[in-house]
């Protein structure tokens, strides 16, 4: 596993890397800074240059370029590696606030010339800014923690080294498809998606909304959903089919064989649970809770249908901590197997 970390100055990049080194046995990797590296000149000698990467003496490997690093890591993809930005000595030296802000903005956004080249006012080239990399990160951490201990607790909860981040399990795979199906929902109240599978093969999918040939709910087709009624009120007047109902209807009783599993991004309601039990589904896996989980669980348990919740490792933007907004920094992590 290779985890790449980027972020603005003092965002916690090296703290995150050191956490992975100390807690999960990662080894740090580095690429050369903008200042040319002194040392061996031959390709073989330049390929692996051990370097001290932090005050605790954790040793890492420095590579002459990205291709050399990826070639090395790809052959050792079962091991754990972490890569952070490298700053030159000028960046690490204490500097006045104005210079710090300028350097930080330069790193984030770059400074383009008329010919679209980027520089820092001197002779050394500067990347176009890490702000352009953030949308490509699998996980973004809004670092607002007052102590390393609190930050480590957050990292523990994120399960950064979960194999699911490299290759989704069947649970993660089908739950992702259920969430994707929910985007097709036209219901005004809630978007729900469902996938019905057997032997890890998809039988049918479903999402909630008004029946075929009726006006879509989000176009006024269901009076109940377009009213101000709260959840669970006037359900008997709702015209929308639930995601589970659509998946079961699409599959038909003949295709729902023994051992079928239903994945739904929201726990089925009581009415859907009764229908799920009737058609012979063996197991229901859901991600988000609903307001009648206990009632649904009771029905499914009595019918011999297993109900369990699956929560994949968090991704996207994660925010936690107590620092004021003006002090927040962003750490972005790209997690994956070396190409």
Confidence of residue 266 (pLDDT cuts 50, 70, 90): very high
Q: pTM (2 decimals)?
A: 0.65
* Cα–Cα distance for residue pair 197/170, rounded to 1 Å: 10
pLDDT recorded at residue 247: 96
Same structural domain, 189 and 276: yes
Q: Do residues 147 and 174 both lie within one domain?
A: no
Residue 65 lies in a domain: yes
Domain shared by 180 and 283, yes or no: yes
Number of compact structural domains in the chain: 2
Same-domain pairing of 146 and 11: yes
Cα-Cα-Cα-Cα dihedral of 273, 277, 282, 287, to 10°? Answer: 0
CA–CA gap between residue 130 and residue 304 (Å, rounded): 52
Confidence class for position 65, pLDDT limits 50, 70, 90: confident
Q: Is 67 helix (H, G, I), strand (E, B) or coil?
A: helix
At CA 273, angle to CA 268 and CA 275, rounded to 5?
A: 125
How crowded is residue 140: how many other Cβ atoms within 10 Å of its Cβ?
Answer: 18
User: Does one domain contain both 233 and 141?
Assistant: no
The residue ranges of DSSP E strands in 112-217, in sequence order, are 139-144, 193-198, 201-207
Query: What is the per-residue pLDDT for 34?
Result: 52
pLDDT value, residue 267: 95
Looking at the structure, do residues 9 and 149 belong to the same domain, yes or no?
yes
Q: Which residues of 42-60 are buried (b: 16+ CB within 10 A; e: fewer)?
A: eeeebbebeeebeeeeeeb
Assess whether 90 and 222 both reside in one domain. no
Please indicate, yes or no, whether residues 148 and 19 belong to a single structural domain of this protein: yes
Query: pLDDT, tens digit, for every residue of 120-140?
Result: 444 444 445 566 667 677 788
Q: What are the phi and psi torsion angles at 83 (to 5°)?
A: -125, 130
pLDDT of residue 150: 86
Q: Which of 219, 244, 283, 306 is catalytic?
A: 244
221 and 146 assigned to the same domain: no
List pLDDT tens digits, range 72-101.
Answer: 888 888 889 988 844 433 333 335 555 566
Q: Is the pLDDT of residue 26 over 70?
A: yes
**Measured torsion, CA atoms of residues 61, 65, 70, 72, in degrees rounded to the nearest 10:** -50
Angle CA 19–160–284, to nearest 5: 150
pLDDT at 111: 56
> What local confidence, expressed as pLDDT, does residue 42 receive?
54
Q: Are residues 222 and 307 in the same domain?
A: yes
Active site residue 45: no
Q: What is the CATH number of the domain that holds 210?
A: 3.40.140.10
Instruction: Give 186's contacts (C-beta < 8 A, 6+ positions apart).
Output: 209, 210, 216, 217, 218, 219, 221
pLDDT value of residue 5: 83
Domain that includes residue 275, residue range: 170-312
Question: For 321, left (φ over 0), alpha (ψ -120 to 50), or beta?
Answer: left
Does 19 share its domain with 95? yes
What's the pLDDT band for 206 if we cut at 50, 70, 90? very high
Asked if residue 254 and residue 218 are part of one domain, the reply reads: yes
pLDDT in tens, 177-188: 999 999 999 999
Report the mean per-residue pLDDT for the chain: 77
């Amino acid at each position: 596993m290779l985890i790449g970390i980027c972020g603005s100055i003092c965002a916690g990049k090296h703290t995150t890397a050191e956490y992975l080194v100390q807690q999960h046995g990662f080894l740090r990797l580095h690429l050369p800074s903008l200042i040319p590296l002194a040392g061996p000149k031959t390709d073989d000698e330049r390929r692996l240059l051990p370097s001290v990467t932090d005050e605790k003496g954790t040793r890492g490997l420095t590579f002459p370029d990205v291709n050399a690093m990826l070639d090395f890591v790809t052959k050792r993809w079962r091991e754990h590696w972490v890569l952070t930005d490298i700053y030159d000595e000028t960046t690490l030296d204490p500097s006045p606030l104005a210079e710090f802000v300028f350097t930080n903005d330069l790193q984030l956004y770059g400074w383009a010339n008329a010919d679209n080249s980027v520089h820092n006012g001197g002779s050394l080239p500067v990347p176009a800014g890490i702000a352009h990399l953030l949308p490509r990160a699998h996980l973004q951490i809004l670092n607002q923690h007052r102590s390393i201990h609190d930050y480590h607790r957050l990292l523990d909860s994120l399960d950064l080294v979960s194999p699911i981040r490299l290759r989704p399990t069947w649970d993660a795979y089908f739950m992702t498809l259920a969430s994707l199906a929910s985007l097709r929902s036209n219901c005004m109240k809630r978007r729900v998606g469902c996938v019905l599978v057997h032997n890890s093969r998809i039988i049918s999918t479903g999402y909630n909304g008004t029946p075929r040939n009726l006006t879509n709910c989000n176009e006024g087709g269901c009076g109940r959903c377009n009213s101000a009624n709260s959840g669970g009120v006037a359900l008997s007047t709702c015209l929308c089919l639930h995601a589970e109902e659509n998946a079961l209807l699409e599959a038909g009783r003949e295709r729902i064989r023994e051992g079928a599993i239903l994945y739904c991004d929201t726990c089925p309601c009581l009415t859907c649970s009764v229908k799920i039990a009737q058609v012979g589904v063996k197991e229901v896996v859901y991600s988000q809770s609903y307001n009648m989980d206990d009632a649904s669980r009771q029905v499914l348990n009595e019918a011999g249908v297993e109900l369990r919740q699956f929560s994949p490792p968090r991704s996207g933007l994660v925010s936690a901590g107590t620092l004021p907004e003006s002090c927040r920094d962003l750490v972005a992590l790209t997690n994956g197997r070396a190409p």
